[in-house]
Chain A
């Protein structure tokens, strides 16, 4: 194998890693936004809204991500009202579809996680806020938010790693992420295991970096008791 070919392959892998990471970050941010919104909404007094959020998480968590990606990528073209709306400018690209699918998928799991965490905060704190005459908004942002962030971040790091692993499914809708590049190189060279090994090592390294970052964040927000 000459140097030029090796250089070409390294560049391809670098490109793939770039797409994988940007998929992950966009999916993460969008998913977090949806999840936070739904978590807030799920505590409303209206029974209908509570039920809607429950049904949303039930459906998202009960179906495979691959099928969700296929529904969004292949299925959205069948519906005229999506094709005529502004959504189509996002959903006509595989990248947009992958980001939307990842975000929706992770938001379903995150809502369940966030609700569990909020419910684990002792009732006394809510009551103490009320006793001090705080409004609902003051209570949420001044007391509960800080508490919530501290207890949620360790569990949320798992969610980030799951999203990273899920980005590999974007290769099934023609995206050239790390997995897609691996597939392409395998098809070009007919040697499979070396490329799968390289891809595996790349994923593990990204994993390691994520874990390190979260360890750092956990340390910096830790309050000694």
Chain B
């Protein structure tokens, strides 16, 4: 067996790492769009609350958010079901990472929304387009193009931060490397292998974003 069977374990961990990152990015994108529209809304209270929440989320260590979601989620679920129920580590990790990504993405989207020229919204109104059509057909395609560089950076950060989910017991890449290191008494070998896999993953992400960056010129 390759590396006493640890190679297979690491591959399994890699799959979970990818899954966690992708789901977290998806949640974060939705939260980010929602947060940006809230921050730009004319209702002062919503605007203030969302700005507060996102700046607090960005000021606190990621690890703390993950623990808060994990322990808080367990308390919440236990209250609902009336007996001790532990939140799934995958769920907790995805929610925590998604929220953090969302907080940063809010800033990126906010900037992108502000770049779109006001005249476009006015002409959409003059053409009689509804608010939802304006948002989907006029704003979103442009906002995504402006936000893409910032978002792709955040995706890489989320991929790397997904290693923190190992600390709440999710069996992803770092967790598997930890097991292999403890079992084999060769921590250096396995942690370096783990780092190498992360390096490959981030490189693949980066190549993908280069591709999308080239693609975004088309379609107008």
Asked whether B191 lies within 8 Å of A203 as measured between CB atoms, the reply is: no
Asked whether A165 lies within 8 Å of B163 as measured between CB atoms, the reply is: no
Task: Write the B142-169 contact mask toward A (1 if CB under 8 angstroms, else 0).
Answer: 0000000000000000001111101100
Chain A contributes a number of interface residues (CB within 8 A of B) equal to: 37
B59 proximity list for chain A (CB < 8 A) = 161, 165, 203-204, 207
A65 proximity list for chain B (CB < 8 A) = 160
Asked whether B68 lies within 8 Å of A196 as measured between CB atoms, the reply is: yes
Partner of B191, one of A74, A186, A207: A74
Binding site for A on B (CB under 8 A): 56, 59-64, 67-68, 71-72, 75, 160-164, 166-167, 174, 177-178, 181, 185-189, 191-192, 194-195, 198-199, 202-203
Given A75-B188, A78-B187, A203-B60 contact (CB < 8 Å):
yes
Asked whether B163 lies within 8 Å of A67 as measured between CB atoms, the reply is: yes
Asked whether B64 lies within 8 Å of A200 as measured between CB atoms, the reply is: yes
Binding site for B on A (CB under 8 A): 58-59, 61-68, 70-71, 74-79, 161, 165-169, 171-172, 179, 182, 186, 192-193, 196, 199-200, 203-204, 207
Asked whether B75 lies within 8 Å of A62 as measured between CB atoms, the reply is: no
Asked whether A71 lies within 8 Å of B195 as measured between CB atoms, the reply is: yes
Asked whether A59 lies within 8 Å of B199 as measured between CB atoms, the reply is: yes
Asked whether B188 lies within 8 Å of A76 as measured between CB atoms, the reply is: yes
Most central of A165, A167, A172 by chain B CB within 10 Å: A165
Q: How long is the Cα–Cα vector from A61 to B202 in the complex, in angstroms?
A: 9
Shortest Cβ distance from B186 into A: residue: A78
Q: How long is the Cα–Cα vector from A193 to B71 in the complex, in angstroms?
A: 7
Distance (Å) between the CB of A194 and the closest chain B CB? Answer: 11
Distance (Å) between the CB of A59 and the closest chain B CB? Answer: 7
- How many residue-residue contacts, CB under 8 A, span A and B? 110
A193 proximity list for chain B (CB < 8 A) = 68, 71-72, 75
Given A165-B61, A168-B64, A193-B75, A77-B174 contact (CB < 8 Å):
no
Distance (Å) between the CB of A179 and the closest chain B CB? Answer: 6
Q: How long is the Cα–Cα vector from A171 to B195 in the complex, in angstroms?
A: 20
Main secondary structure of the interface of A (DSSP, over half): helix
Asked whether A169 lies within 8 Å of B64 as measured between CB atoms, the reply is: no
B71 proximity list for chain A (CB < 8 A) = 186, 192-193, 196
Shortest Cβ distance from A68 into B: residue: B195
Q: How long is the Cα–Cα vector from A65 to B163 in the complex, in angstroms?
A: 9
Given A179-B64, A196-B64, A67-B174 contact (CB < 8 Å):
yes
B202 proximity list for chain A (CB < 8 A) = 61-63
Shortest Cβ distance from A204 into B: residue: B59
Instruction: Please list 19 pairs of residues, one from A and one from B, whose beta carbons are closer than 8 Å in the complex, sorted by A's number.
Output: A62-B199, A64-B198, A66-B174, A67-B198, A68-B195, A70-B178, A71-B188, A71-B195, A74-B188, A75-B191, A78-B186, A165-B61, A167-B61, A168-B61, A172-B167, A179-B63, A203-B60, A203-B61, A207-B59
B68 proximity list for chain A (CB < 8 A) = 193, 196, 200
Lowest 9 A-B CB distances belong to which pairs?
A: A75-B188, A168-B61, A74-B187, A64-B163, A192-B71, A78-B188, A64-B160, A62-B202, A165-B61
Asked whether A192 lies within 8 Å of B174 as measured between CB atoms, the reply is: no
Q: How long is the Cα–Cα vector from A169 to B181 in the complex, in angstroms?
A: 19
Shortest Cβ distance from B205 into A: residue: A62
Asked whether A74 lies within 8 Å of B64 as measured between CB atoms, the reply is: no
Asked whether B203 lies within 8 Å of A62 as measured between CB atoms, the reply is: yes
A77 proximity list for chain B (CB < 8 A) = 187-188
Q: How long is the Cα–Cα vector from A58 to B195 in the complex, in angstroms?
A: 12
Asked whether A196 lies within 8 Å of B174 as measured between CB atoms, the reply is: no
